[in-house]
Amino acid sequence: MTHILLSAARPEHYRLFVVAITAIANQAIGLNRLRLRATLSVIFSLIASLCLNASIATAETKLDPLVQRCLAEEGVFYFEEASTICYNDAIFPSQFLKFSALPTVEQLIISSPGGNVATARLMSRIIDQKASSTIVAGPCLSACAMIILPGLDRFQLHKSAFIAVHGISMLNYRTWFGWLNNNREPSRLDLMQAQLGYDFGYSLYHAGREHIRDHLQTQNVEQEYITDISELMLDDASKLKCRANPDNYWGVLDLAYVEKYLGTRMYSNSDLSTLTYDQNNALSAEFATYITDETFMFRDDFQHSNCS
């Protein structure tokens, strides 16, 4: 009978259940009342905790088919019956306009290879208004990892998530110049051109860097969210004999890294909702070459840089 009651009861009923059982036991047994009360409270609290965790796991298991449905087709979709928006596409103005036109929903499932940083910042401003919670699933690369993810107020990492930032993005001009010119120091003319904005390569690089810095500051996220992975990529890339453009390197963010900087915004981190580095979950070796577990390049970029 007790088993039937426990299996049918909701978590909020367990406290009342504990009180009732304790009261009955106190009437039946006058001795060791304090010890009995404490024992019963511990037992039923543990039962309640187990049942609550089981209900969370069940909810996440039900999420899996919805994620699979979302990842099966590229585009921006509205699953009305599930009160869910599926955003499985690049981040550019046309996709953003389609997303912004959809109704408010309970949850957003997002997977993206990245896109335009300015568009991603616009999208970041409305995501939390558009959906009560966000599930990051599948690849979340470049602008998705650097702009969208740190801009979320409340999110969950699905077990399929693979998060990677694009480029060694926080180099100053001297380091950037030396990296592309066999460690040569920039001349005074080079420095002057860079300061005046006439080094167009660095101007584009610098603009992207400032976009990211400004966004992180606006979202109250530590700058180290991007500088730490940038420094790690630089260290890993330095182990190679070749030098590629800084934009051609990618850095993988594992669960510990995301929790370190965005942990207060995450929820439901059970066994069914954790991000772990897994080669099968990463980009296929057909398309990417891994320098370390945290740093990779797309194979074409790797070969064109004479790194093979």
Rounded-to-integer distance, Cα 305 and Cα 200, Å:
21
Rounded-to-integer distance, Cα 82 and Cα 105, Å:
9
pLDDT at 204: 86
CB 289 within 8 A of CB 300: no
pLDDT at 119: 95
Residue with the two structure tokens 């585009």: 75
Q: How many residues appear in the chain?
A: 308
- The domain spans of the chain are 2-57, 73-304
pTM score: 0.76
In this model, does residue 288 exceed pLDDT 60? yes
Q: What is the pLDDT of residues 163-202, one digit of tens each?
A: 999 999 888 999 999 999 988 999 999 999 998 888 998 9
In this model, does residue 148 exceed pLDDT 60? yes
Domain 73-304 is found in CATH 3.90.226: yes
Instruction: Tell me what the pLDDT averaged over the chain comes to.
Output: 81
In this model, does residue 277 exceed pLDDT 80? no
In this model, does residue 11 exceed pLDDT 50? no
In this model, does residue 105 exceed pLDDT 80? yes
In this model, does residue 23 exceed pLDDT 60? no
In this model, does residue 271 exceed pLDDT 50? no
Mean pLDDT value of segment 56-61: 46
For 63, other C-beta atoms within 10 Å of its C-beta total 22
In this model, does residue 248 exceed pLDDT 90? yes
Three-state secondary structure of 243-305: CCCHHHEEEECCHHHHHHHHHHHECCCCCCCCCCCCCCCCCCCCCEEECCCCEEEEHHHHHHC
